[in-house]
Amino acid sequence: MNLKMSISKHALHRNRVKTVNYKCQKKMLLSFLLLYQIQHSFANIIPSVCHGNHWNSLLCIGVTSQKDLRDGISNALGIVSPPQFDSLEITHSQLNFLGPDLNKKLYQQVQNLKISNSNLSNVQSEAFIGFSHLQSLKIESSNILMIDLAAFHGLPNLKMLQLSEVKVKRLPWGLFDRLPYLIKLELIDCQPEFIDRNVFHNLNTLKELVLTKNALTKLPVNLLRPLISIETLMLNDNKLETLDLKGLKHLHSLFLQKNYISTIPRHFFQANRNLRVLVLDDNGISDLEWDVFADLPQLEILGLMHNTISKLHPLIFRTTTNLHTLNLAANQISKLDSNTFNGLTRLANLNLMDNRLETLPDGLFSKNLHLSFLDLSANNLKSISPTNFRHLRSLASLKLKGNEISDIHGEAFRDLALLQVLDLDNNEIREIDAGLFGNLKKLRVLVLANNYLRNLPNGIFNGLTSIESIELEGNNITDEFNKSVSKFVSF
């Protein structure tokens, strides 16, 4: 009887689901038909390639000439309310060049212009001279072969210029000279064959420069020195082995990941004392001088992930006292001195996963009282002592998965009163002290999966008053224990 009732309820639920799905499909079909009718009615009234995209914005698709563009915009303005627009996007067009003929009074109100996925190959002199109020210009995914030296003349208010996936062969001196208020310049995946050392000569107001994915092997001498106001410099995803940062005293964010940097000379950052973010991930760095970061007292974020660093000098972070995020994951560090992180009194996030650490010296984290996230996964740790994590009262997440841990002292986690996540997955734990989790009142997630546990002490989880999930799969826990903790345990 119960079985039949269960089947009947299941069938009823299945029919309801089918009915709901049918109603949804019907509603979507009606909406599609209505949209189709509206579009075709609109096309019969105004045969235009341009239409209102959203408030004060026009989208022009598939234009074949500059006259076609002008006519399309003029027609579209008749149905845009209000009849003004400040943003224009031209996409999938057959325009193969832009010249002064593009510019009429029609474009003076445009503040944002985007040209994407076009057949554009030639940007002529003063091509945008009619866009006198233009503030943002983006050209993406176009087959540009030539940009005239005076192409960007007549844009006195331009603040942001982006060229992305545009194969610009040359960046000559004077190309950006008439952009007195330019704040952000992005040249992404342009792969220029020639860059004049003076191409940035007059960009005194530039604050952000992006030169990513350009296969750059080196930068011309003094290329960056005119950028006296630069704050953010992105040179990631190139083939750079070194560069000159002299004169960039306002630089606060430097992204150099995915290059070919193997060594960093001493006092390399001497002129960049205001640097706050430094990302050097995915290079070939193997050794770091003891004072390589000595000139960076304001540094807050340091990324050194995916290099081949095997050791750290005990004094390497002595002066970077403002550092709050340090990523050393995926290196070859096998040993750390107990004083290595002593100067990092504000450190909140430390990633040491995927190294070769076998032990943690006592006092390693004793000065890092604000540490909130600590990842020691995928090392060769074999035991956890009662002093390894002492005084880390702010720690919220501790990850120790993928080690060789077989011995955990009963007081190893005694001071971790704010810990919320503890991951001990994939170790060699056979026994756990009855009081190991006694002080973890805030713990929400406990992962003990894939160990060698067979029996756990009675009441071992009683102190976990905030627990939401305990993972024990991949062990040999007895059925009796399973029943006693089944309400929040995943086996």
pLDDT tens digit sequence for 380-398:
999 999 999 999 999 999 9
Instruction: Report the alpha-carbon distance of residue 165 to residue 175 in Å, rounded.
Output: 18
Q: What value does the mean pLDDT take over residues 16-25?
A: 44
Looking at the predicted structure, is the pLDDT value of residue 31 above 90? no
Looking at the predicted structure, is the pLDDT value of residue 83 above 80? no
In this predicted structure, which of 52-66, 330-344, 380-394, 433-447 has the lowest mean pLDDT? 52-66
Looking at the predicted structure, is the pLDDT value of residue 3 above 50? no
Task: List % helix, strand, coil for the chain (3-state, nearest 5).
Answer: 15, 20, 70
Q: Is residue 450 part of a domain?
A: yes
Contacts of 275 (CB under 8 A, 6+ apart): 251, 252, 253, 254, 269, 296, 298, 299
The pLDDT of residue 7: 31
- Residue-wise pLDDT for 118-132, tens only, equals 888 889 999 898 888
Backbone phi and psi for residue 152, each to the nearest 5 degrees, phi listed first:
-100, 15
Q: What value does the mean pLDDT take over residues 227-246?
A: 96
- Residue-wise pLDDT for 266-309, tens only, equals 889 999 999 999 999 999 999 999 999 999 999 999 999 999 99
End residue of a domain, out of 122, 148, 174: 148
Instruction: Report the alpha-carbon distance of residue 409 to residue 389 in Å, rounded.
Output: 11
End residue of a domain, out of 119, 148, 177: 148
For residue 195, the Cα-to-chain-centroid distance in whole angstroms is 28
Q: Is residue 196 part of a domain?
A: no
- Residue-wise pLDDT for 410-454, tens only, equals 999 999 999 999 999 999 999 999 999 999 999 999 999 999 999
The pLDDT of residue 28: 47
Domain count, the chain: 2
Looking at the predicted structure, is the pLDDT value of residue 52 above 80? no
Of residues 168, 166, 57, 68, the one with CA closest to residue 117 = 166
Q: Is residue 187 part of a domain?
A: no
Q: Which tokens is 124 given?
A: 């002529």
- 10 confidence band (pLDDT: 50, 70, 90): very low
The pLDDT of residue 344: 97
25 or 251, which is more confident = 251
Give me the torsion for CA of 335, 339, 343, 344, rounded to 10°: 40
The pLDDT of residue 144: 84
Q: Are 382 and 402 in contact (CB under 8 A)?
A: no
Q: Is residue 175 part of a domain?
A: no
The pLDDT of residue 36: 39
Arithmetic mean of pLDDT over the chain: 86
End residue of a domain, out of 89, 120, 148: 148
The pLDDT of residue 451: 97
The pLDDT of residue 43: 37
Instruction: Report the alpha-carbon distance of residue 385 to residue 380 in Å, rounded.
Output: 15
Q: Is residue 219 part of a domain?
A: no
Q: Is residue 84 part of a domain?
A: yes
- 53 confidence band (pLDDT: 50, 70, 90): low
- 66 confidence band (pLDDT: 50, 70, 90): confident
Q: What value does the mean pLDDT take over residues 465-484?
A: 81
The pLDDT of residue 480: 55
CA distances from 93 to 97, 106, 294, 418 (A): 11, 19, 53, 58
Query: Which of the listed ranges 39-53, 78-92, 272-286 does the model predict with the highest average pLDDT?
Result: 272-286
The pLDDT of residue 14: 43
Instruction: Report the alpha-carbon distance of residue 165 to residue 138 in Å, rounded.
Output: 11
Q: Are 279 and 255 in contact (CB under 8 A)?
A: yes
Q: What value does the mean pLDDT take over residues 45-53?
A: 60
CA distances from 238 to 218, 231, 295, 481 (A): 9, 20, 25, 56
SS3 115: strand
CATH of residue 456: 3.80.10.10
Number of other residues whose CB lies within 10 A of the CB of residue 298: 15
DSSP state of 98: E
The pLDDT of residue 55: 65
Backbone phi and psi for residue 181, each to the nearest 5 degrees, phi listed first:
-115, 20
Pairing of β 57-61 and β 50-54: antiparallel
Instruction: Report the alpha-carbon distance of residue 205 to residue 180 in Å, rounded.
Output: 7
The DSSP H or E segment spanning 197 is: none
The pLDDT of residue 483: 47
Looking at the predicted structure, is the pLDDT value of residue 245 above 70? yes
Looking at the predicted structure, is the pLDDT value of residue 134 above 60? yes
Q: Is residue 443 part of a domain?
A: yes
Considering the entire predicted model, what is its pTM? 0.85
Instruction: Report the alpha-carbon distance of residue 147 to residue 462 in Å, rounded.
Output: 71
Q: Is residue 11 part of a domain?
A: no
Of residues 324, 373, 321, the one with CA closest to residue 352 = 373
- 101 confidence band (pLDDT: 50, 70, 90): low
Q: Which domain holds residue 423?
A: 390-490
Instruction: Report the alpha-carbon distance of residue 47 to residue 49 in Å, rounded.
Output: 7
